[in-house]
Amino acid sequence: MFHFLTNAAGTVGMSSSIVMLVVMLAVFYFMLIRPENKRKKEAEQMRASVQTGDKIVTIGGITGTVVNVKDSRIVLETGADQVRIELEKWAISSNETAAEAAKEKAKKAQEAKAKAKAAKKAEKN
């Protein structure tokens, strides 16, 4: 039964199997588990930062403006007919207001970087 422990070739084979198992677990962690945890954390943070007046999209595709924010729920106003729907926060798919603000911030940062680069280039000449 324990013959593989006494055989030198058997212990080498067993140790290489353990190494391969550890490598596979590391690959799964860095390729699957870690990115998924990061996405969950970002989604949770986005849902916690929803404020009144934000334009959001739910996981069901409903778009509207947040009218009221409670602990675990939001009240969403949709369309021109001003229908109000109370939803759980976990149903929020994206915050369009925050996404637009992030785009604008990135655009301003890129413009500032371009201006600094142009100034540096003009300084050299």
SS3 track for 46-100: HHHCCCCCCEEEECCCCEEEEEEECCCEEEEEECCCCEEEEEEHHHEEEEHHHHH
pLDDT in tens, 1-60: 445 555 544 556 788 889 999 999 999 999 999 999 999 999 999 999 999 999 999 999
So what's the pLDDT on residue 125?
Answer: 67
Query: In whole angstroms, what is the distance from residue 124 CA to residue 118 CA?
Result: 10
- Asked whether 98 and 49 are in contact (CB, 8 A), the reply is yes
Q: Could you tell me the pTM of the whole model?
A: 0.63
With beta carbons less than 8 A apart as the criterion, state whether 97 and 111 touch: no
Is the predicted pLDDT of residue 108 greater than 80, yes or no? yes
Q: What confidence score (pLDDT) does residue 98 get?
A: 84
Note the pLDDT of residue 1.
Answer: 46
Summarize pLDDT for 48-107 with one digit per residue, the tens. Answer: 999 999 999 999 999 999 999 998 999 999 988 889 999 999 999 999 988 888 888 888
